[in-house]
Amino acid sequence: MSTKNTRPARAKKVLEALRTRYPHPHTHLDAETAWQLLVATVLAAQCTDARVNTVTPELFRRWPGPGEMAKAGIEEIETVIRPTGFYHSKAKNLLGAAVRVCDVYGGQVPKTLEELITLPGVARKTANVVLFGAFGINEGLAVDTHVKRISYRLGLTEETDPVPIERDLMKLFPREDWGDVNHRMVWFGREVCEARKPLCGQCEMAAFCPKLEPPKTPRPQRKKTATP
């Protein structure tokens, strides 16, 4: 593992490479409002953005804002979002978030991380995505599976959990770049640095990438039974 004092220099090279490859980064999720981005991000958990984008047009046609969704039946929501998986819990969270946005925040998606994470189904990652994507606020750096994998492979962190990873990355990248770092790493993770077969031959960072892989969690050992 690379020592921590080499990380700032490597992070600078990573940022330059990502900026060159993706000069105009943006989210893959289709949304026109802060509420729609929040909904789409919640639905994207354990689901591809492409599939979410096939579901949200009908979802937003029926319930374009939190006011409309707060009045919806949970079974109706489940029916529409079923293709995204985990639709029971997602529908419950979306309905709960809509009700809270209406009752507590006057129908407007809040603009602080502290308030956003009080909404059902919204943790730090989703809150960071909404803050940057809808309001241009860099409060944190969203750590999804792509960011987690790439930042470890590049030796930018030794952590394997999202919150500690976020803290490490926030120290390495300028605050004004946090939101775009997420977008760029997502694109890079899908097109080049794939989970199983990274295309190192096409990667401009191959020369300084340590190609690290996070430790696999050992399986719990079975207790040996005495031989009769």
Cα separation, 23 vs 21, whole angstroms:
6
Beta carbons of 186 and 179 less than 8 angstroms apart = no
Would you give the distance in Å from CA 172 to the centre of its chain? 19
Pure H helices in the chain? 7-21, 34-43, 49-62, 66-69, 74-81, 87-105, 113-116, 124-135, 145-153, 162-172, 178-191
Name the residue type at position 202: Q
Beta carbons of 91 and 78 less than 8 angstroms apart = yes
**pLDDT surpassing 60 at residue 226:** no
pLDDT in tens, 57-68: 999 999 999 999
pLDDT score at 228:
40
- Tell me the pLDDT band of 217, cut-offs 50, 70 and 90: low
pLDDT score at 1:
44
- Tell me the pLDDT band of 216, cut-offs 50, 70 and 90: confident
Answer yes or no: CATH 1.10.340.30 is held by domain 34-134. yes
CB neighbour class for 30 (10 Å; exposed up to 12, middle 13-18, buried from 19): middle
Taking each helix axis from N to C end, the angle separating 124-135 and 162-172, rounded to the nearest 10 degrees, works out to 40
What average pLDDT does range 8-21 have in this prediction? 97
pLDDT score at 3:
54
What average pLDDT does range 91-103 have in this prediction? 98
CATH topology of 4-23+141-202 equal to that of 34-134? no
What average pLDDT does range 213-228 have in this prediction? 58
Which class does domain 4-23+141-202 fall in?
mainly alpha
pLDDT score at 112:
98
**Share of residues in the chain with pLDDT > 90 (%):** 89
**Share of residues in the chain with pLDDT > 70 (%):** 93
Cα within 13 Å of Cα(45), Cβ side: 19
What average pLDDT does range 85-96 have in this prediction? 98
Q: Which residues are catalytic?
A: 125, 144
pLDDT score at 178:
97
What average pLDDT does range 79-105 have in this prediction? 98
Mean pLDDT of the chain: 93
Would you give the distance in Å from CA 84 to the centre of its chain? 16
Beta carbons of 43 and 55 less than 8 angstroms apart = yes
pLDDT score at 214:
83
pLDDT in tens, 102-161: 999 999 999 999 999 999 999 999 999 999 999 999 999 999 999 999 999 999 999 999
Cα separation, 145 vs 71, whole angstroms:
33
Cα separation, 154 vs 174, whole angstroms:
18
Cα separation, 153 vs 209, whole angstroms:
7
The domains of the chain are located at: 4-23+141-202, 34-134
